[in-house]
Amino acid sequence: MRNWSDAVLKALLLGGIAALASAGAQAQTITGTPSVALKNGESFELADAYLISSTCKSMLVGTPEVEVLDGPPGITVAVREAMVTPRFFNCAKPIKGGKVIITAKEIEEPSYTTLTLRFKLKTKEGERQYSQVYNISLFPSQ
């Protein structure tokens, strides 16, 4: 019985090693993550920032904030206060929130990387935070 269990364990380990050895390296792409392409000097509305209750009421007491935790140089991200409609949650009326704007400046050569953002939302119960990762392609102006 012991020899059989040892053989199964060894087979599983060898199978795992073979699977890892055959896995190709990927260039910083996170599958299932939103992708954005920007040229030098361009801005793009990346997302809406909001926090709602189960009755589609805003829980925010201030404008959302965003912080770049990791990303390429030449990228700035800001939140512009705005009324947003959280259609993902089947809400029909606009609520207090913000539009997340990404801007590319001083891009000298093409690059592809990830951008990690942390969103800070001020509510009556305190500050809430969440993060999001984006795949970013940057191109110089021509």
The residue ranges of every structural domain in the chain are 2-139
* Range 2-139: architecture per CATH: Sandwich (2.60)
Q: Is 15 exposed, middle or buried, given 0-12, 13-18 or 19+ CB atoms closer than 10 A?
A: exposed
Full-model pTM: 0.72
What is the band of 31 on the pLDDT scale with cuts at 50, 70, 90? low
pLDDT-wise least confident of 31-40, 96-105, 109-118, 126-135: 31-40
Mean of the pLDDT values across residues 7-14?
45
